Structure 1
Amino acid sequence: EQLKYKYIVGRPIGLREKFGDEAFEPRSLEDEGIFVGKKPTVPAKVVNRAEKRIYEECIKDNKPTDHWFGPDGALITLPDPTKFVPTRPLIDDLFDPALGKEFYKAYQIDSEHGVASDPIGADRYRLDLDLEKISFIHHHYMSIEHVLAMRMKQMYQHYTVRKQQRIVQQLSDKIKALKSAESNCRTLYEQNKVIYLS
């Protein structure tokens, strides 16, 4: 288990461990005029642990460690990819009025083929939607509670419709009629049987 899981202590590594025993003087590329880019802000503890892990793995596999570190002695990292300048251009208020929207009232469609009639003489109407009364039966963003509540509401609506139609009463009346018909048939059969035997 100790071979699989190991805890790396994040102590800083010296330049001699990074680049070997040869004399090495770190140099700053940014001071020399080379564009480096802004590096992402990472805590020093995390950087020290990463350097220690890379160093231990390279020593274990007998690989050189110098290609992991730059000329300044730090880990080679890409510049920070986040941009602080918005890439989407701002919408100017003074745009072409031909691209604007113009409101027209809705008018009725009289023809059977769905082609609108002349709006000058047509009866105008307006469609009002009350957003408080809109209810979704199912939606992809609904949680389990919403789906169960909607199912319960639908079951209650079906129950009230059945109650209004009095289907239960009608079915019980049918059962009573069938039972009475059966009893009538039995009595007629018994009477015919007695007459036939006599």
Structure 2
Amino acid sequence: MFKKISWLVFAILAVSIGLYPSLYFFLDRKFSLLATKTDEVLTDPAWNVGFYIHIIFAGLAMLAGWTQFSPRIRKFHLGIHRNLGKIYVASVMLGAPAGFYIALNATGGIVSSIGFTFLAILWFSTTLIAYLAIRRLDTRRHEIAMIFSYSLCFAAVTLRLWLPVLIYLLEDYYTAYRTVAWLCWIPNLIFAIIYTRRLNMKISAA
């Protein structure tokens, strides 16, 4: 029962945040995180291109990625698994570099910029490793790398879970944002390390 509930919560969060970027096309220009940006940044064509590429393809990666962890889809619908995997990889290849670029102007200054830059690099790298592994038919390495990749993709969810808590505790938006630039992905990565080690132990013991 706990496993089913956890999976349901995981799916709901992934789909919700995957669709979240669409709001930027319908609501006021100063919606959400854009409210903290200067007019200079908001009117910069290059930044806008990077921002919209990032939110569109990161959202698409979020929507495609969670399904890849369904044993049912992998076992009975391998074609769907492969096609969604291709969409995920292509989305990361576009979304991560765009995220790297807009991280240069991250809210909160250099501390936030460095945090999000590391996130973009790691997300891109782990996804590329996963892709190259499956091209070599190394399914074990592919699975491990994809767990790391999606744990980093899931930073979009954990950022939005942590940020209101940090604002409440720290009583300052910018301090909270500098903190969440790291907190949104480091615990996810630690979870992925622990999870994959346990997975390897189970496989070795089998």
Bin of the TM-score, shorter chain as denominator length: under 0.3
User: Which of 1 and 2 has higher RCO (CA within 8 Å, sep 6+)?
Assistant: 2
Q: TM-score, normalised by structure 2?
A: 0.16
Which structure: larger Rg? 1
Q: TM-score, normalised by structure 1?
A: 0.16
